[in-house]
Chains A and B, each alone.
Chain A
Amino acid sequence: MIKIAAAVTAVVIFLIVLIALIIGKSASQKKDGVQAGLYKIRSLYFYFLIAAIVGVLFITLKPGAMPYTSLQSGEPALVVNVTARTWSWDLSTNQIPENSLVEFDVQSEDVTHGFGIYSPEGKILAQTQVMPGYTNRLRYTFTKPGNYKIMCMELCGVSHHNMMYDLFVGQTSDLKTEASKKGETK
């Protein structure tokens, strides 16, 4: 998704610069026909733009693709309770089975934080805000084992940039039994 977004952006910027160069380098022509020609392109562009907007909205606004739990079906295999506070994370478990739907129920004890899941390669995979007074539910299915990280994605004070946590994803047999840790969160 990131790569597609970046590539589309680069192409569009290239087109914008190209058009700007063509307009900027155009030779002087004081006749009235100049504007009429542009306005013809404009009506074409208008219909193209409307079609593009409708099309892209249709593709990108599919409820199932949204990150919002209320739009998603299926029951999570594991619910992880997450509590954030300045400046640490508390997870009911950080041993996550691969290929199963996991739900993170995130809460804050003080200010707003951001719960961001980073892949072992350092790419952001999913995130939700951690707002005091609310429980935000983020669902994710990890398909690869490895050492994932939680990083804070919302400014929460002077140590915001140090607020991280480990997340281990693997086959159930490889995970440490953390039964003792469950329910420990305040």
Chain B
Amino acid sequence: MTNVEKNKVTITRLTSLITVTVMVLFLVLVLLGFLMRVSQGAIIQLPPDFFYAIMTLHGLGMAGTLFVGGITAISFLLSKYVNLSTGLMKLNFGLILVGVVGLVIATLIGRFGAGWYVLYPLPFLEGAWPRWTVVTVIVSVMLLGVAWLLWQLDILRAIVVRYKLNGFLGWKYFSEKPEGEEVPPLVIISSVSVIAGALTTVFGALMLMLYLIQWINPDMHFNALLMKNLVFLFGHTIVNITMYFGLGIVYELLPNYTGRPWKSNKFIAYAWNAALVFVLVAYFHHLYMDFAQPVALHFIGQVASYLSTVPATVVTIFGAMAQFYKSGLKWKFAPLAMGLSLMGWLIGGFIAVVDSTIIVNNFFHNTLWVTSHFHTYYLLGFVLMQFAFIYDYFDVKSEGSSKLSLYMMLIGGYGIITMFAVAGVNSVPRRYASYVNIPFESVVKSGQSTAAIASIFALVLIVGVLLVYKNILSSFKNRW
């Protein structure tokens, strides 16, 4: 075997290994979500410290797991065009596993429950959870951060080596006659994602350093507003570029099913460069209710959130419609999941745009409306893109149960997000371990009944996911 062939085998094995790990983690984290809804629905009653601990694990875990799933898929697809370092990928996988173990121990055993965004200075609240859990979480997330940073920088390096400075972000398409070899949309999207991701991971790492300093020396204190800006710059970007990874999958794989090319042009170049700018400043919409934040930043947050719909719909959605419309493609699992994922992305995006309006956020901030938004994004957007990739990757045969599994995920997923949205409209706050003590009967009823109904939808989702897994695992040997 030549080196190139060896590299291919290694990347394939790693992709299979990480993908299966992601599938397992995803299922476990969905079960935690189910458990939370059952408890909020007052069907069982989890102790509050345990509720907040699994909520923290669910949030951090999903953000991390789906990010890793996305970057793994992207890396595999990119390896057709560029040379990624397999050694680094192995190291990253190791770091990620250690980080996951740390988070599981700190939350499930230590009952650390400050939420995925560890809002400063909550982790340092005395008596809330053992001191060791705080440092365990800080170091675990740091390990994840290091792995993600290295991985993203390696992708950037590999892309720039091949496509050069005028190609990696598609800038050459700004000229009327782009010269040199074509740059696939996947490459441009990956560049945009890893630049935004690497940049903000550095800020996230800086924040974690400050946390570590305060943990070592409890007399040290930092500015809470600065810390909140840092955590949302990091968190918002990581979540959004996970969506971008998913879109990269769609741009790359969909043409294989429709038989129509989806090539880079100036529209795609403009759109994704604009997305790079918007994703970095839209995070201000997480801080609308922080009246201490300069008002100009609130305005920038709303304008950027609104403008981000332009590249997303004009270029990506219309591009996808041109792929699907009258293409006569066979609705196998992968293209169907991709089409539905774009629909989910669009719906989730619109729910977010509504909430990114400052005068609306006033009523929806930290209610379950927000929870509805990102569950649509993730569950009915990215996860379907990820499953489409996995189906394509393992070359799973699309049999009868494939579509059934997809429809069960849809029914479960849309049921879950509808219940969140209804509760949000009824002013039910998010991140409440229990609704029992809310002093309004109407809010208690709305919170509990939507949670109980959502638990049933979650069961449908879980059966759907298990069916998808059964089909995938039967084809696992195709890629080992």
Contacts and interface: CB of A to CB of B under 8 A. Distances in A.
Contacts of B299: 61
Interface in B339-359: 339-340, 343, 346-347, 350-351, 354, 357-359
B115 to A, nearest CB: 5
A24 B303 CA distance: 33
B306 A129 contact: no
Contacts of A179: none
Given A112-B122, A131-B224, A133-B223, A27 B322 contact: no
B366 A8 contact: no
Contacts of B260: 35
B289 A149 contact: no
A2 B446 CA distance: 16
A121 B120 CA distance: 33
A177 interface: no
Interface string A24-54: 1011111000110011001001100110010
Question: Chain B: interface residue count, which band?
Answer: 35 or more
A60 B357 contact: yes
Question: Chain A: interface residue count, which band?
Answer: 35 or more
Contacts of B426: 122-123
B467 to A, nearest CB: 22
B291 A153 contact: no
Contacts of B331: 24
Interface string B317-332: 0100110111110010
Contacts of A156: 122, 125
Interface stretch (A66-74, A76-84, A94-102, A168-176): A66-74
B366 A154 contact: yes
Interface of B: 48-49, 52, 113-115, 119-122, 125, 128, 223-225, 228, 260, 289-292, 295, 298-299, 302-303, 306-307, 309-310, 313-314, 318, 321-322, 324-328, 331, 339-340, 343, 346-347, 350-351, 354, 357-360, 362-367, 421, 425-427, 429, 431-435, 437-443
The 4 A-B pairs at the shortest CB distance, nearest first, are namely A28-B328, A122-B440, A29-B326, A134-B292
12 contacts: A2-B425, A23-B324, A26-B326, A57-B303, A70-B295, A124-B367, A133-B225, A136-B292, A153-B289, A157-B122, A158-B48, A160-B432
